[in-house]
Structure 1
Amino acid sequence: MQLTPDETILFTLGGIGINETIVNTWLVMIVLTVASIIITRHLRPDVPPNRWRTTLEVIVTAIQSQIEEISPRASRHVLYFSGTLFLFIALSNLLLVVPGFEPPTASLSTTAALALSVLIAVPLFGITRQGIRGYLKTYIEPSVVMLPFNIISEFSRGLSLAIRLYGNVMSGAVIAGILLGVAPFFFPVVMDVLGLLTGLIQAYIFAVLATVYISSATATHGKPPEKEKDQ
């Protein structure tokens, strides 16, 4: 049993091996893009919403309300970023029910890339809110002595995000493989159900933690919280 889709090379392109992780990542992105285009192609006030549009609105509204509870300064850009992370991870894990599909989140390279996007987004949101000087000042609070510890803390966040997501997805795959060998008819069904539930929970946790880190970076000390206007 292969422990990661990185080990499966599907084809070569220009002498470079394209593994299953890359292909499945693009498949997830294509599914999300096509689905959003189809659902929103008639997004007008005079057109009554269908069930797919209603479902999408419920999902977006739930994500937005959760973000607003976490960050009183949440803007549309936080919704776009954290919502995209949630949808990508959730769909990647939900497609596990498709025979032969290995979720890209089962690869450490994918989870590391997602964590890296959070590491980049956090200072960008912080600089946008407080300016470069104001954001950099947070690294020496409450004193200059804390500078190296704050830097280490910043990078450990990204590392913990990547390892947490990868470990949970991979542990489910390994347990399913073991049970498949013990009882190939009953346990796989149970593990698929538990895998779907775990996948949704992990997507939620990852998006929430990303929002918490962004909220911390955009916090203006000494000023009352103020919600941004929609942009």
Structure 2
Amino acid sequence: MNLSSDQLILWQYGFIHLNETIITTWLLMLAMTVGAMLVTRKLATDEKISRWQGALEIIVIGIKQQIEEVGLANPEKYLGFLGTLFLFVATASICTVIPGYVPPTGSLSTTAALALCVFVAVPLFGIEQQGLSGYLKSYLEPTLLMLPFNIISELSRTLALAVRLFGNMMSGTMIIAILLTITPFLFPLVMTLLGLLTGMVQAYIFSILATVYIAAAMQVRAPEPVANLKTNPQPQTPNPKDAPHG
């Protein structure tokens, strides 16, 4: 039994090889690209739209609402990146209903690549919002002593993203494979449905965590209020006209 789809080599020439993870990843991206082209080729703006366009609009609106709830303004700016992450992981989970299909997200190499995408996107969005100097200053907050801890935090959360997604997706695949050898009828079907639900949850969690990391990098320090030079303002001189008449 293969613990990962990386172990199944489909083609090799010298040190160059194509394993099952690479093939399924590119086939999945090709299917998503063709599907997006078919859905968006005849978009309508009136009340009569296709079912596929309606489903696509529901997904886009839902992702935009989640981005706004996390705290990112102008969600259209991040929709392409975060939406693609969610749809890739979700589609990889949906395809598990295909017999013999092993999701590429069950491989540590794929989940590491997804986590690296988040690792690169976070500083890029942060630098775009705050500038290079402003973003680098965030590593020194609140004191200079926090610099190594902030760097370790950047690296550890990237590793956590990769391992979290890999562990959850791979465990479901392994459980289905084990039950298939023991009871090849009822339990694999139930576990497939459970794995499909787990995959959708993991797609949501992965995209939300990426949104939270980007939102943290986009935070801009508010300007401190200017201190009043007159700490003890002089009392106003009363107007003689306002004095009571005896």
Residues 123 and 217 in structure 1, CA contact (< 8 A), matched pair in contact too: yes
What is the match of residue 229 of structure 1? none
What is the match of residue 147 of structure 2? 147
What is the match of residue 231 of structure 2? none
The alpha-carbon deviation at position 181 of structure 1 amounts to 2.4
What is the match of residue 59 of structure 1? 59
SS class of match (2:11): strand
Residues 11 and 17 in structure 1, CA contact (< 8 A), matched pair in contact too: yes
The reply to whether residue 80 of structure 1 matches residue 80 of structure 2 is yes
Residues 140 and 147 in structure 2, CA contact (< 8 A), matched pair in contact too: yes
What is the match of residue 163 of structure 2? 163
Q: How does 1:130-145 map to 2 (within 5 A)?
A: 130-145=130-145
Name which of structure 1's ranges 174-183 and 135-144 shifts more when overlaid on structure 2. 174-183
What CA RMSD, in Å, does the superposition of the two structures yield over aligned residues? 1.5
Q: Distance in 1 between matches of 2:38 and 2:209?
A: 30
SS class of match (1:12): strand
The alpha-carbon deviation at position 44 of structure 1 amounts to 4.1
How many positions carry a matched residue from both structures?
223
Residues 39 and 52 in structure 2, CA contact (< 8 A), matched pair in contact too: yes
What is the match of residue 11 of structure 1? 11
The alpha-carbon deviation at position 197 of structure 1 amounts to 0.1
Name which of structure 1's ranges 66-75 and 159-168 shifts more when overlaid on structure 2. 66-75
Bigger RCO of structures 1 and 2 (CA < 8 A, at least 6 apart)? 1
SS class of match (1:36): helix
What is the match of residue 227 of structure 1? none
Residues 73 and 215 in structure 1, CA contact (< 8 A), matched pair in contact too: no
For 2:114, the aligned partner's letter is: L
Residues 74 and 215 in structure 1, CA contact (< 8 A), matched pair in contact too: no
What is the match of residue 24 of structure 1? 24
Q: Residue by residue, what CA displacement relative to the aligned partner does 1:103-159 show, whole Å, maximum 9, x if unpaired?
A: 110110000000000000000000000000000000000000000000000111100
What is the match of residue 208 of structure 2? 208
| Percent of aligned pairs with the same amino acid | 55
The alpha-carbon deviation at position 14 of structure 1 amounts to 7.4
What TM-score results when the alignment is normalised by the length of structure 1?
0.92
Q: Distance in 1 between matches of 2:80 and 2:219?
A: 19
Larger Rg: 2
Q: How does 1:85-104 map to 2 (within 5 A)?
A: 85-104=85-104
SS class of match (2:2): coil
Q: Distance in 1 between matches of 2:104 and 2:142?
A: 40
Q: Distance in 2 between matches of 1:166 and 1:149?
A: 25
The alpha-carbon deviation at position 46 of structure 1 amounts to 5.7
The alpha-carbon deviation at position 73 of structure 1 amounts to 2.3
